[in-house]
Chain A
Amino acid sequence: MNIVVTLKQTFDTEAKIALTSSGSIDDNGVKQVINPYDEYAIEEALKLKEANEGSEVTLVSVGGAGTESAIRTALAMGADQAVLVSDPTLEAVDELVAADILAKAIAQIPYDIILSGRIAVDDGSAQVAVRLAEALGLPSVSSIQKLEITGQSAVATRDIDGGSETIEVPLPAVFTAQKGLNEPRLPGMKGIMAAKKKELKVLTLADLETSAAALNAGSKVTSYSLPTPRSAGKIISGEPAQQAAELAKLLREEAKVI
């Protein structure tokens, strides 16, 4: 079975976000990690590989040279090889372009199952994997919490409002991983040692027979802003009855929530 996992490198979830003077997100000195939801996808791919002898897990990513460290970590977890599309002419990549590039890269390799995180924790758009399925003409199931493969079809379970839903799709298909699908493993020392010997193929847009000019973004980020800092809390003093009355008054008149 050929299993493809799409991977994105994101800021560490504990990183403090700051903007540069020109208003873009400042990544200077920020620790980068594998997008946490992609870790569930990697783990699921590795479990499928372990259960199906002869399977291979290939990572596919789009990003700058810095993405290589996330890819090496995923290789250390146990993935077999990786393809990174990294092209100096690529600047801001929206979801449409990212999915387009991933589709072109994945079209060059064999695949039965494509796994992805359900959302990237940085931009939070949850679009790329679904657009990728569309570009490849494949069925897709989002936010799965369970995946079973039988022959040429897959049964995926996902949480829906008030219950869960079980969906059967023919393979190949795209699945996006939700928290709860599995517990991602940590890379062991042997995995780390093995990772440097695994193939990480770096492709340019020309290798995919396309160019930055040919890739049309559907959207453009116009600006970023940080949340307004939370103002200090207010302490209401006095007798309990007075405090309650004052609180009700403030909630109505100042916070305007009741």
Chain B
Amino acid sequence: MDFGFTEEQQMVQDMARRFAEEEIAPYVDEDEKNHFYRREILSKMGELGLLGWSIPEEYGGNGMGWLEAVTALYEIAKVHTSWRLSISGNCWGPAMTINQYGTDAQKEQFIPGLVGGETVGSFAITEANSGSDVGSMKTFATDKGDHWVLNGSKMWISGGHSSDIGLVYAATKEGGGSKGLSCFIVDYNNTKGVERIPILEKVGMWPAPTSEIVFDNAEIPKDALLGEQDKGFQMCMWMLNNTRMGCATGAAALSAAALEGAVNYANERTQFGQPIGKFQMIQSQIAEMKLEDEAAKYLVYRAAWLKENGLPSQQATSIAKLSGCNAAVHAANLAMKIYGSYGYSTEYPCGRWLRDSKQFETLEGTSNIHMGIVAGIELGYQPNR
């Protein structure tokens, strides 16, 4: 058993940390304030290969896998949680799913742009009335012989209006439920009948666009279908098992950011003639944060290791996501207490950490759904994929 990095992994961490400090950190406050999505950050991520994990090199992949990916994502998310979404939005979502299920033509057409950062990607599953119950989605794709027609709407779609292409899951069989879903690659820039509406009022993740997407007789080509018709539910679960690593890693990173901030503040802030870190109650809070932070981080690496080795990882991914999310919300909450009144001021990052931490309890499977997966696998009610 080896808990250390290889020389390459160490370089990946150093590079991603420096990238985050030099290219993301200077804009955090400004972009938070303006709810601004800085497109060029994604381009730079693409140029450096930060969007090409587990993708064949012939399509622009970076030749590295899950352990390196979570290492890089962690460093980016630690500086600004919103930017972790791009790795799922471009790589683990569309690029990896197209690589798994697509035709050679689809792979050649879409993957290089997603991996290179020239194209912004997204994926759309959730609807206003269909969240955890994926099989209940109402967006419908009608087969018109030489093309498909999409009708319906998607809600809370990360990168919905900033993306150039997106995977859209839709029903293709009336009353088919989870046995009648299919996945489509939609070229948003060249499809009529699609309206993308930014959702501006949200608690956190301000610089990361979130949208409602309305399909009104949107015509998409016949070859927009990804994988087999009516097999979309399985594809969706396969994809989520990948993209959820983004949530788990992002959550662990947010916990680490809040802990690091709290430790620095506890060492600097003096009350009653000594740094507040000398007080037992602050120490207790720091110890709680550290325990959960450390566990979350290694559970992320454990899940990534299982994925890298092609072993069943669904339960480990859910455990990592739950653990990370609990650590993040708790750490952000404690950090705000340790920072005192300054923590409540928007000049300090505590508010952002707390707001951003709450996403993890909902995104890509609520905590209840993940508890269900963990228990279901543990009790033998469902296989561990």
- The answer to whether A and B come from one shared complex is yes
Spell out A's residues near B (CB within 8 Å): 33, 69, 72-73, 76, 186-190, 192-193, 195-196
CA distance A73 to B19 in the complex (A): 14
Q: Which of A33, A69, A186, A189 contacts B7 (CB 8 A)?
A: A69
**CB-defined interface of B1-40 with A at 8 Å, one 1/0 digit per residue?**
0000001101110110011001000000000000000000
A162 CB, min distance to chain B CBs, angstroms: 31
B312 close to chain A: CB less than 8 A = no
Q: A189–B52 contact, CB under 8 A?
A: yes
Question: Bound state CA distance, A250 and B15, in angstroms?
Answer: 49
Contacts of A69 in B (CB 8 A): 7, 10-11
Contact A193 B63 (CB under 8 A): yes
B50 at the interface (CB under 8 A from A): yes
Q: Does B62 contact A (CB under 8 A)?
A: yes
Whole-angstrom CA separation of A187 from B50 in the bound complex: 11
Residues in A with CB closer than 8 Å to B199 are none
Interface of B, secondary structure class, is helix
> Is B48 located at the chain interface by the 8 A CB criterion?
yes
The one of B7, B15, B22, B63 in contact with A187, judged by C-beta atoms closer than 8 angstroms, is B15
Chain A residue numbers with a CB within 8 Å of B63 are 189-190, 193
Show 12 A/B contacts (Cβ-Cβ < 8 Å), sorted by A: A33-B14, A69-B11, A76-B15, A186-B19, A186-B22, A188-B49, A189-B12, A189-B49, A189-B50, A192-B8, A195-B11, A196-B7
Give chain A nearest CB distance to B26 CB in angstroms: 14
B56-90 CB contact bits vs A (8 Å, 1 = yes)?
Answer: 00000011100010000000000000000000000
Of the residues A33, A186, A188, A193, contact of B8 by C-beta under 8 Å: A193
Q: Is B378 an interface residue (CB 8 A)?
A: no
Say yes or no for B268: interface residue by CB 8 A criterion.
no
Known contacts A186-B48, A188-B47; A193/B62 CB under 8 A: yes
In the assembled complex, how far is the CB of residue A35 from the closest CB belonging to chain B, in whole angstroms? 15
Q: Cβ of A190 and Cβ of B11 under 8 Å apart?
A: no
Taken together as a complex, chains A and B put the C-alpha atoms of A127 and B218 apart, in Å, by 69
Once the chains bind, are B12 and A192 in contact (CB under 8 Å)? yes
Residue of B18, B22, B48 near A189 (CB, 8 A) is B48
**A72: B residues at CB distance < 8 A:** 7, 11
How far is B62's CA from A76's CA once the two chains are assembled, in angstroms? 13
Instruction: Please name all residues of chain B whose beta carbon is closer than 8 Å to the beta carbon of A195 when the two chains form the complex.
Output: 8, 11
| Residue of A33, A188, A192, A195 contacting most chain B CB atoms (<10 Å) | A192
11 more CB-based (< 8 A) A-B contacts, given A69-B10, A189-B63, A196-B8: A69-B7, A73-B11, A76-B11, A186-B48, A189-B15, A189-B50, A189-B64, A192-B11, A193-B8, A193-B63, A193-B64
In the complex the two chains form, what is the Cα distance from A69 to B11 in whole Å?
8
Residues on the A chain within 8 Å of B11, using CB: 69, 72-73, 76, 187, 192, 195
With beta carbons under 8 angstroms apart, the residue of A33, A190, A196 that contacts B49 is A190
Q: Are A186 and B10 in contact (CB under 8 A)?
A: no
Of A33, A186, A190, A196, the residue contacting B62 (CB under 8 A) is: A190
Nearest residue, chain B, Cβ from A31: B14
Closest 7 CB pairs of A and B: A189-B49, A189-B62, A188-B48, A193-B63, A188-B49, A192-B11, A186-B15
Give the CA-CA distance A193 to B63 in the complex, in Å: 7
Measured between alpha carbons, how far is A188 from B11 in the docked complex, in Å?
10
Report the minimal beta-carbon distance from A131 to chain B, rounded to whole angstroms.
Answer: 30
Nearest CB of B to A29, in Å: 14
Residues in chain B near residue A186, CB distance under 8 A = 15, 18-19, 22, 48
Q: For the complex, give the distance between the alpha carbons of A73 and B8 in Å.
A: 9
CB distance from A255 to the nearest CB of B (A): 24
> Nearest Cβ distance between residue A239 and chain B, in whole angstroms?
28
Name the residue on B nearest A77 (C-beta): B15
* Cβ-closest chain A residue relative to B50: A189
B193 to chain A, nearest CB (A): 38
Docked CA distance A243–B68 (Å): 59
Q: Among B15, B47, B63, B64, find the residue whose CB has the most chain A CB atoms closer than 10 A.
A: B15
Contact partners of B62 in chain A: CB under 8 A: 188-190, 193
Residues from chain A with a CB closer than 8 A to the CB of B10 are: 69
In angstroms, Cα B4 to Cα A50, docked, is 36
Complex contacts, B50 vs chain A, CB 8 Å: 189
Alpha-carbon gap, A76 to B13, bound state (A): 13
Chain B nearest CB, measured from A252 CB (Å):
31
Determine the distance from Cα of A72 to Cα of B48 in the docked complex, in whole angstroms. 17
- Rounded to whole angstroms, the CA-CA distance of A189 and B49 in the bound complex is 5
Separation of A33 and B17 alpha carbons in the complex (Å): 13
- Considering the chains assembled together, what is the distance between the CA atoms of A192 and B63 in angstroms? 10
* CA gap between A196 and B7 in the complex, in Å: 9
Q: How far is the CB of A49 from chain B (nearest CB, A)?
A: 18
> Which residue from chain A places its CB closest to the CB of B53 in the assembled complex?
A189
CA distance A25 to B22 in the complex (A): 29
Residues of chain B lying within 8 A (CB to CB) of residue A193? 8, 62-64
Q: Cβ of B7: which chain A residues have Cβ within 8 Å of it?
A: 69, 72, 196
Considering the chains assembled together, what is the distance between the CA atoms of A32 and B19 in angstroms?
17
A69 to B8, CA, bound (A): 10
In Å, the complex CA distance between A180 and B372 comes to 56
A195 CA to B10 CA in the complex, in Å?
13
The complex places the Cα of A96 from the Cα of B79 at a distance, in Å, of: 43
Chain A residue at smallest Cβ distance from B19: A186
Nearest Cβ on chain A to B289's Cβ, whole angstroms: 22
